[in-house]
Each structure stands twice: as structure tokens, then as C-alpha cells.
């Protein structure tokens, strides 16, 4: 699965996710990637987010909207909101991660697996690519 | 002017540094950097976040390294079935596609569903019919399939035929949900998406 979340010069957020799903998937299985509110979500008042992982759990935890709702309704910063949501995914038994950017340009890249291929580039000049 | 930027992922996995050769790690670093630069170029020139997202994801979809577009994993029937979605935070508009077999860049079709249809999600043959109406050139499914993914499917089927064993992924209630294998022979190393 691959994904991206972006913030443009006008302060607009967007997110997207693309995937082949799971090896040996059957029965027309669809995971969280094409599910708005689960694997992908964007809201200018909060953040833009893309998820990767064991999709069934990310759907059940409504990951994308959950992170956004924690920010909007509880005033949580992005980092904490994403961590709290990922804790819920872990509690259900799901593995994976999320990347997100908020309306101020703060990014988070969190996962409960040993690795997640990830990176960010910001107008502050910061750029980072990491895998483990 | 607002600060701007982007963040990407190319999958999470139970994969350790020692599982990837230095050469393969360098390939990943370069491709992730290329995707970041493609998206950033859109933003830096005053483009919209939604276009930056598409630009970055297309780089990753076109790479056989990742489970999206070319290099996607195979389903039980030996076919690549692709899903994608996109969302615009300003209008809270969204588009999604599922079960595609012939669309080279699914993220592009997801954006077209959002911008050029009255719907949010289109699936399977209907989604591809919509793509044809928009003038998309469809590619054979073989375009997406790589030798590595074929090998992974064979391995998954062997494990499944043997009863799943410890490589079957169980959910919180202990049900076997599926069997999946990452890019190496060690069956303990599952691919999580």
C-alpha cells in the first residue's frame, strides 16, 4: 500500500491511498485503502491522513476519521490523536501505520510494525526518508 | 503564504533492516525520495494539495517495489485487483475505486470519480467502464504482475494447502482471516498491507 497526505500554499489539505490489497485475497475482499474515513481522510479543520496495514482492523477502528475527530472535538494535537487511534487498532489486533499532516504543516508517521517505508518534505526545508 | 509540504508511506511491514540488502534499501530510498520530490514540486509551484497527492502516488504506483499499481500483490485467482481513494479536505469531496484490473494508475481514476462523477466509490467492471468513457487506455493485468509477486502467491497457496499453520493471520477472535507473505522466504515476515 502507498499513500500521501499534503498541505498546499493556500492551506488546503488532501490525502490519497493506493493498494493491491493482500496476497491470496479471496471473495472480492476490499480493505481500508479505498474506504473514506478508514484508510484515507482529509479535513481542512484538522488533518489529512493515509493508512497502511491490516485493513480489516483499520476499517473497524475507522482510523482516518477517528484521528480527525480527536483533533476537532477534543482539541488533541495530531501526534497524540494518531497515537491514540493506533493504540485502538493495536488493541483490536491490527498491525500497520498512518502518515498525516495537519493544517499547520506538522507531520506524523506512526506504526506498530518493525518497519514502515515513509518520508516527508516540508517548506521549512526539512526532508526525511526512513524505512525502519 | 501558508507553510506547505507532504508526507508519504509505501507500506508497513514486519520487516527488519537485515531483511533488505543495502542495494534494495538504496532503491527504496531513491524511489521514496523521487515520490516526495514529485509531490513537492506541485506544491512549490503553487499547485493544489490534491494534485500533489496524485503526483507522489503515481511515482509509487509505477514502481514494481510497492504493493500498488505495477508490483501489486496477486489475489487467490492470480490476478491483481487494485483499490484507491482520494479526499479533498477543503470541500470534503472524495473519490474511490475498488477491484480494478486494468487501470494503470488507480489514484488518477479515484480523483476522476471525485471530480467527474456524482458518486464517491465505483467498483470492478463499472469503475473500468467509467474509465473507458473518460478515455482511459486500459492495460492488460499482466502489466501489474511481477515474478516476485507470483512467487509469493505460490508460497501463500502452499501454506494454505498445508493448513495455514503459524503463517495464517488470525484476528482477535482467533479466526484465520487470510494468508499473506512479504518479499522474502521467511514465512514469519508478513506483509501488512
Local confidence band at B35 (pLDDT 50, 70, 90 cut-offs) = very high
Chain B residue with Cα closest to A126: B5
Angle between helical axes of B106-116 and B124-133 (0-180°, round to 10) = 80
Give the residue with greater pLDDT, B175 vs A116.
A116
Share of chain A above pLDDT 90, in %: 89
pLDDT, tens digit, 9 for 90 and up, residues B135-150: 999 999 999 999 999 9
Residue of A nearest to B88 (CA): A14
Alpha-carbon Rg of chain A, whole angstroms?
A: 14
Give me the residue from B90, B120, B178 closest to A44, CB to CB.
B90
In this structure, of A67-71, A102-106, A111-115, B49-53, the range with the lowest mean pLDDT score is: A111-115
Tell me the C-alpha distance between B86 and B89, whole Å: 10
Starting at the edge strand found earlier in the chain, the sheet holding A47-53 runs A40-42, A47-53, A96-102, A107-111
Question: Could you say which of B66, B97, B177 has the minimum Cβ distance to residue A2?
Answer: B66
Helix (H, G, I), strand (E, B) or coil at B40: helix
| pLDDT tens string A53-62 | 989 999 999 9
Q: Is the pLDDT of residue B175 over 70?
A: no
Q: What is the pLDDT of residue B48?
A: 98
Beta-carbon-side half-sphere exposure of residue A17 (alpha carbons within 13 Å): 35
Q: Model confidence over A90-116: pLDDT tens digits?
A: 999 888 999 999 999 999 999 999 899
Beta bridge partners of B82: B100
Q: Does residue A1 have an active-site annotation?
A: yes
By CB atoms closer than 10 A (0-12, 13-18, 19+), residue A91 is exposed
C-alpha cell at B153: 502467491
Residues 41-80 of chain A whose Cβ lies under 8 A from any Cβ of chain B: 41-44, 48, 50, 52-57
Is pLDDT above 80 for B163? no
Report pLDDT digits (tens) over B64-111: 999 999 999 999 999 999 999 999 999 999 999 999 999 999 999 999
| pLDDT score, position B193 | 42
B51: distance to nearest CA of chain A, Å? 9
- Do the Cβ atoms of A14 and B17 come within 8 Å? no
B:132-191 residues touching chain A, CB 8 A cutoff: 144, 149, 152-153, 156-157, 160, 169-172, 177-181, 190-191
pLDDT score of B161: 79
- Mean pLDDT in residue range B167-180: 48
Amino acid at each position: 500500500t502507498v499513500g500521501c497526505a499534503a498541505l498546499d500554499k493556500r492551506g488546503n489539505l488532501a490525502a490519497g491511498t493506493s493498494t493491491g490489497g493482500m496476497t491470496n485475497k479471496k471473495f472480492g475482499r476490499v480493505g481500508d485503502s479505498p474506504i473514506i474515513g478508514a484508510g484515507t481522510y482529509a479535513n481542512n479543520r484538522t488533518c489529512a491522513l493515509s493508512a497502511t496495514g491490516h485493513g480489516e482492523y483499520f476499517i473497524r477502528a475507522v482510523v482516518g476519521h477517528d484521528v480527525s475527530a480527536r483533533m476537532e472535538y477534543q482539541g488533541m494535537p495530531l501526534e497524540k490523536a494518531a497515537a491514540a487511534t493506533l493504540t485502538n487498532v493495536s488493541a483490536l489486533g491490527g498491525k500497520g501505520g498512518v502518515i498525516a499532516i495537519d493544517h499547520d504543516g506538522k507531520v506524523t508517521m506512526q506504526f506498530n510494525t518493525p518497519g514502515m517505508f515513509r518520508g516527508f518534505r516540508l517548506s521549512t526545508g526539512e526532508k526525511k526518508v526512513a524505512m525502519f | 503564504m501558508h507553510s506547505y509540504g507532504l508526507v508519504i508511506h509505501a507500506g508497513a511491514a514486519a520487516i527488519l533492516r537485515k531483511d533488505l540488502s543495502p542495494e534494495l534499501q538504496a532503491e527504496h530510498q531513491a524511489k521514496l525520495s523521487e515520490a516526495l520530490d514529485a509531490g513537492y514540486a506541485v506544491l512549490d509551484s503553487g499547485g493544489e494539495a490534491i494534485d500533489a497527492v496524485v503526483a507522489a502516488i503515481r511515482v509509487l504506483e509505477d514502481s514494481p517495489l510497492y504493493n500498488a499499481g505495477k508490483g501489486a500483490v496477486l489475489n487467490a485467482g492470480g490476478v491483481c485487483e487494485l483499490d484507491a481513494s482520494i479526499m479533498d479536505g477543503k470541500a470534503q469531496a472524495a473519490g474511490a475505486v475498488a477491484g480494478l484490473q486494468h487501470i494503470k494508475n488507480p489514484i488518477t481514476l479515484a480523483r476522476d470519480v471525485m471530480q467527474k462523477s456524482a458518486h464517491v466509490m465505483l467498483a470492478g467492471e463499472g469503475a473500468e467502464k467509467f474509465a473507458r468513457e473518460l478515455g482511459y487506455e486500459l492495460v492488460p493485468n499482466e502489466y501489474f504482475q511481477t515474478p516476485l509477486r507470483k512467487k509469493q502467491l505460490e508460497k501463500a497457496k502452499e501454506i494454505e494447502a498445508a493448513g495455514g499453520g503459524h503463517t495464517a493471520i488470525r484476528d482477535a477472535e482467533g479466526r484465520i482471516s487470510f494468508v499473506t507473505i512479504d518479499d522474502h522466504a521467511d514465512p514469519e515476515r508478513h506483509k501488512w498491507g
